[in-house]
Structure 1
Amino acid sequence: MNRLLDPDLTRPSQNGVYFVGDADLVRLAANAVREELAVRRTDLAGCHGKAELLQCLASSLTLPADFGDNWDALADSLRDLGWLPAWGHVLLFDHASALQHGASGDFDVLLGILDDAATFAQDADRPFFAFFALPDFAPDDGRLRTTLPPGIA
């Protein structure tokens, strides 16, 4: 991702889920910290399905103790981020290709949940961004918002 094409992390109108190159996460994290946004980084290496993914997210996002360990609980937690106080949130995902290729259905559900959370935050005028590092990512314009699979809103 070219820094000139990075989304403005202070503008909820640009909220969303983005694919980026591996090297982009450090710059995006620094930008988020500079804007005083909450930043959480999740390493998806070794996540080959829903159970491992939810466990990994519970740890990296410091989800509440009563987290239900299912998709609905994750969606609810990401819509109401009161347990992670900040005026906006940036989630960074390393090694996303392993999950994308090894459990594409679970990857697609995660993208849908994050996209929903970004829309929910935009409606509340709060920044919310999720960035997935993919080693083979080569966008045409330096930035790509995900295209969600059919049936995922």
Structure 2
Amino acid sequence: MTTFLGRHSEADDHIAQLRWLGHDVRVVSGGGDKAGVLEAFASGLDLPDWFGHNWDALLDALRDLDGARGVPIELVWDHAATLREQDRDAYDTVVEILEQVADERDDLHVTVVTR
């Protein structure tokens, strides 16, 4: 399941609520182009050295993202508006990857914040 929050939503309250519920909240911030968003995911999620900074590698890394057993992972991509405005194709690709991984994994939920 993917949650989309807009520029005027209460994103910080949403993130605080997820943490209060005991979710493993992981926040990735920004990215203005393909290279920038891939770097944001690599650093924000502390992806392994084998991460190849391409779409396929992002999909594989998210599929392998480890969390504590029984604790849902909430992946929050914050400040996604810049990429959406500057490179809509790259934004759509990231959203597609996030949704695919969320559909494949019962323990991972995604929030996209376009502020």
Aligned to 2:2: 17
Please give the per-residue CA displacement for 1:69-106, whole angstroms capped at 9, x wherever unaligned.
11111111111222x44521112222211100101111
* TM-aligned CA deviation for residue 51 of structure 1: 0.8
Q: How does 1:29-40 map to 2 (within 5 A)?
A: 29-40=15-26
Does the 8 A contact of 1:40 with 1:60 survive in 2? yes
Q: Compute the RMSD of aligned alpha carbons.
A: 1.7
Greater C-alpha radius of gyration? 1
Query: How many aligned positions are there?
Result: 113
Runs of 4+ in 1 over 4 A off after TM superposition: none
Could you say what secondary structure the match of 2:105 adopts? helix
* Residue 27 (structure 2) aligned to one of 41, 45, 51: 41
TM-score with structure 1 setting the length? 0.66
Distance in 2, matches of 1:117 and 1:94, equals 17
Higher normalized helix content (fraction of residues) = 2
Q: How does 1:1-153 map to 2 (within 5 A)?
A: 16-22=1-7, 23-44=9-30, 47-82=31-66, 84-85=67-68, 87-122=71-106, 126=107, 128-135=108-115
* TM-aligned CA deviation for residue 24 of structure 1: 2.3
Task: Give the letter for the 1:104 counterpart.
Answer: R
Amino-acid identity (%):
30
Deviates more, 1:16-25 or 1:51-60: 16-25
Please give the per-residue CA displacement for 1:52-80, whole angstroms capped at 9, x wherever unaligned.
11011101111112212111111111112
- Structure 1 residue runs without a partner (length 5+): 1-15, 136-153
